[in-house]
């Protein structure tokens, strides 16, 4: 599975990149037809503390799965996205 990381005004540090790759590699254990996964990291222009947005696009045959979460840290929003994507992949596999 190919993993693409795109950022808007943010440079992800190496531990964050490793965490992204580790989290997303686990998704293949739930659904083996994943073609590519794209991660978009963005800091929202708000005064709130929860301004780190992670958008996860899991490309699979048929319909892509898109999950978007905004939290106080990129790690937290990544974890939420990965967990939601996992549930959706399990549901998709059960329906197949």
Residue span of the structural domain in which 6 resides: 2-95
Tell me the C-alpha to C-alpha distance, in Å, between residue 5 and each of 17, 62, 90, 93: 8, 22, 24, 25
Distance CA 82, CA 80 (A): 6
The domain spanning residue 48 has which CATH number? Answer: 3.30.160.100
pTM, entire model: 0.91
Question: What is the rounded CA–CA span in Å between residue 56 and residue 20?
Answer: 10
Q: Please give the tally of structural domains in the chain.
A: 1
Paired residues of 53 in beta bridges: 42, 70
Q: How far is residue 27's CA from residue 1's CA, in Å, rounded to a whole number? A: 10
pLDDT at 96 exceeding the cut of 80: no
pLDDT in tens, 17-68: 999 999 999 999 999 999 999 999 999 998 888 999 999 999 999 889 999 9
């Amino acid at each position: 599975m190919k993993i693409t990381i795109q950022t808007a005004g943010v440079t992800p540090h190496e531990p964050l990149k490793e965490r992204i790759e580790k989290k997303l590699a686990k998704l293949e254990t739930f659904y083996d037809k994943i073609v590519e996964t794209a991660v978009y990291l963005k800091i929202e222009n708000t005064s709130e503390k929860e301004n780190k947005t992670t958008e996860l696009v899991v490309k699979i045959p048929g319909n892509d799965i898109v999950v978007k979460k905004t939290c106080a840290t990129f790690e937290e929003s990544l974890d939420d996205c990965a967990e939601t994507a996992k549930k959706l992949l399990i549901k998709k596999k059960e329906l197949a």
